[in-house]
């Protein structure tokens, strides 16, 4: 169980997160949505211990100390850095603390196995700079999964991916979470994808959680109007999944300056 208890973050005097609280059970995949600047990345970094924050984060009842947290793997947005590293090197570094001058062959084999599971085996020795954006994203996902963390925090993992790979990444995350009774919090912009891939949606706006629940409870037309400032239609597909179809942006929306 991941318990977030009134987590607040400030940048200088500017508050970025205002006392965010939530409880997430093992086996849950949570989509974190919200407009640009809502504090999604900040919340993920604060949970990972990479951002100075007030409040308490507990994992299985244990309050987590500040600083990098072993049980929590955070996957930042791709910046294109590290082009000359090989795919295998990147994945191996998921378990940085276990690497020495000599890399344990068993560990290496596990890393190769993880690449194979994501269909990346043939790329193992290629430099990540030579890959497409989507392939890179998968490589960094492999790194995150290789850590076998209790909690995965993924910041826009599908940003560079085509439709097929968007689904593939999120299904892989969800499967991993279900099998290992882990927790995943995934920041996404695509609401239809969020509805499809997550058990639960947390909606963040202006540093506050303003909705928390199953996709059909959170994704409503009034919420989209209020938070995103868009007129949208929410359709239920024959499969039962929700689809969010934006119609038009509202001109006089308060969505950017903060909602009531």
Partner 1 sequence: MSEKTTFAPEVPGAAPGRGTAGEPGRDPLRRRAGRLAVLAVLLAAITVLDLLVGPAFLNVFDVLGALVAPASADPMVAAVVHAIRLPMTLMAVIVGASLGIAGVEMQTILGNPLASPYTLGFSAAAGFGAAVAILFGLALPLVPALTIPLAAFATAGLASAIVYALAHWRGVTAEVMVLAGIATLFLFQSAQSLVQYMAAPEVLQEIVFWLFGSMLKASWFSVAVSGVILAAGTLALMPDLWRLTALRMGDARAASLGVNVPALRRRVFVIVAVLTAGAVCFVGTIGFVGLVAPHLARMLVGEDQRLLMPASGVCGALVMVGASIASKLISPGAVVPVGIVTALVGVPFLFALIVTGRRRYW
Question: Which residues contact partner 1 (rule: CB under 8 A)?
Answer: 48, 50, 67-68, 70, 73-76, 79, 81-86, 89-90, 93-94, 96-97, 99-101, 112, 116-127, 129-132, 134-135, 138, 140, 147, 164-165, 167-168, 171-172
CB-wise, 94 or 215, nearer to partner 1? 94
- Local structure of 35: helix, strand or coil: coil
Minimum distance of partner 1 from residue 229's CB (angstroms): 29
* Contact of 231 with 225, CB cutoff 8 Å: yes
Minimum distance of partner 1 from residue 23's CB (angstroms): 23
Q: What is the dihedral of CA 49, 53, 56, 57, to 10 degrees?
A: -30
CB-wise, 8 or 77, nearer to partner 1? 77
Minimum distance of partner 1 from residue 77's CB (angstroms): 8
CB-wise, 59 or 131, nearer to partner 1? 131
Minimum distance of partner 1 from residue 233's CB (angstroms): 24
Neighbours of 109 (CB within 10 A): 10
First to last CA, the chain: 31
Minimum distance of partner 1 from residue 131's CB (angstroms): 7
Alpha helices, H only, 87-132: 87-92, 105-117
CB-wise, 172 or 226, nearer to partner 1? 172
Nearest CA among 158, 254, 154, 249 for reference residue 206: 254
């Amino acid at each position: 169980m991941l318990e977030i208890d009134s987590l607040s973050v400030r940048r200088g005097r500017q508050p970025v997160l205002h006392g965010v609280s939530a409880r997430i059970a093992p086996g849950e995949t949570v989509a974190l949505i919200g407009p640009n600047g809502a504090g999604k990345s900040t919340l993920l970094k604060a949970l990972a211990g990479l951002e100075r924050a007030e409040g308490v984060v507990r994992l299985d009842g244990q309050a987590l100390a500040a600083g990098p947290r072993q049980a929590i793997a955070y996957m930042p947005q791709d910046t294109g850095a590290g082009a000359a590293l090989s795919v295998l090197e990147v994945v191996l570094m998921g378990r940085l603390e276990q690497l020495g001058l000599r890399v344990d062959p068993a560990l290496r084999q596990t890393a190769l196995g993880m690449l194979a599971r994501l269909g990346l085996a043939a790329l193992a020795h290629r430099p990540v700079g030579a890959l497409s954006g989507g392939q890179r994203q998968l490589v960094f996902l492999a790194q995150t999964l290789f850590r076998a963390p209790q909690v995965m925090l993924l910041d826009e993992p599908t940003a560079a991916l085509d439709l097929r790979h968007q689904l593939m990444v999120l299904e892989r995350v969800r499967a991993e979470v279900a099998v290992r009774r882990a927790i995943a919090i995934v920041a996404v912009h695509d609401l239809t994808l969020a509805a499809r891939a997550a058990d639960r949606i947390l909606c963040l706006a202006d540093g506050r959680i303003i909705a928390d629940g199953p996709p059909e409870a959170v994704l409503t037309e009034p919420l989209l109007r209020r938070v995103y400032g868009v007129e949208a239609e929410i359709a239920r597909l024959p499969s039962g999944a929700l689809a969010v179809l934006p119609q038009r942006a509202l001109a006089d929306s308060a969505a950017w300056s903060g909602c009531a």
